[in-house]
Amino acid sequence: MKLIATMPARNEGWIIGLSARVALMWCDEIVILNHASTDDTAERIGELQEQHPFRVHVISVPEAQWSEMRHRQDMLDLARTKGATHIAIIDADEILTPDLFNFPRSALLKPNDGQILQLPGYNLRCSLNRYHLNGLWGDRWFSVAFADNPRFYWASWGRDQYDHHHREPFGMTCQSYRPVGQGRGGVMHLWGVTDRRLRAKHALYKVTERLRWPEKPIKEIDRMYSLWKTGSHPNEPNTWQFADVPKAWWEPYEDLVAKYLHVDAEPWQENEVRRLIDKHGPERFRGLDLFGIA
């Protein structure tokens, strides 16, 4: 068994020094795709390569245009050339809880074709110490790893292909394998570790959807990507509940957190929103609440 992680990154200097090192604690190697970063992401990756020779492979994509499926395919292709039998899917703002290191890898990674390891996902909210317990961002499952098969792919050239966000590969139906229950560990997602990061991410989601699908009603886009602040949703009550992150989930990483996690760094999405508005004109985005960023 050879498990290789794939990690897309764009301006993730604030966290990738932590998340990539945690990934290397349970993966044999890692493929990082550095997409048009303008911060110190490349420097942080270089430090990682020096500390872990032959275990860190890098793809650099200078073009600012985001093509997630092609990026994921490029990482999959490179992992295959390095002899991967299993592929891990890790975003740069995700950290596996350390209790899962006690599981034998054979127990977490089934060799069966078409089976995908899913772990509980804990969306942190405006703190390192609390996460969403219910609602849209609570009780979540993240697809984390699968045994590779030549039929799996993310991008298929020569035909129309969904190219927004899709974590699981195409090509075969993936059956969920969930060996760990909610609340017993899994993946901490630092997606919303500060309010500023939440605002910036969702403002960029709105602008991106407006450009990609101009036929989609403005009100629909605005409502969907404002749920993070209102808590309202047609299918759930306007009440969020939170739980405390167990201290044991952070304690083994304390030194890495102190050195490599910078939650107050400026979110790159703020400048990207302003750039896109300057490029396409403010009229195209009229009606979107961009949370004061632009």
Per-residue tokens: 96 = 């596996």
| DSSP per-residue letters across 162-230 | --S---S-BSSPPEEE--S-TTS--EEEEEESSHHHHHHHHHHHHHHHHHH-TTS-HHHHHHHTTHHHH
Which pLDDT score is estimated for 173? 86
Q: Considering only CA atoms, which of 193, 177, 180, 9 is closest in space to residue 97?
A: 180
Is 203 a member of any domain? yes
Tens digit of pLDDT per residue, the chain (294 long)? 999 999 999 999 999 999 999 999 999 999 999 999 999 999 999 999 999 999 999 999 998 887 899 999 999 999 999 999 999 999 999 999 999 988 878 878 876 767 899 999 999 999 999 999 988 899 999 999 999 999 999 986 544 455 567 899 999 888 899 999 999 999 999 999 999 999 999 999 999 999 999 999 999 999 999 988 865 555 555 678 999 999 999 999 999 999 999 999 999 999 999 999 999 999 999 999 999 998
Asked whether 195 and 126 are in contact (CB, 8 A), the reply is yes
Is 237 a member of any domain? no
Q: 3-state class of 251 per DSSP? A: helix
What is the residue range of 292's domain?
Answer: 194-230+264-294
Report the predicted TM-score, pTM, of the whole model to 2 decimal places: 0.93
Question: Are 30 and 98 found together in one domain?
Answer: yes
Is 256 a member of any domain? no
Asked whether 123 and 192 are in contact (CB, 8 A), the reply is yes
Q: Per the structure, how many domains does the chain have?
A: 2
Which pLDDT score is estimated for 105? 82
Which pLDDT score is estimated for 115? 87
Is 250 a member of any domain? no
Question: Are 25 and 163 found together in one domain?
Answer: yes
Is 257 a member of any domain? no
Strand-pairing partners, residue 243, are 131
Which pLDDT score is estimated for 164? 62
Question: Are 26 and 145 found together in one domain?
Answer: yes
Please enumerate in sequence order all residues whose Cβ is within 8 A of that of 291, keeping only pairs 6 or more positions apart, or say none: 199, 202, 203, 229
Question: Are 32 and 166 found together in one domain?
Answer: yes
Which pLDDT score is estimated for 159? 45
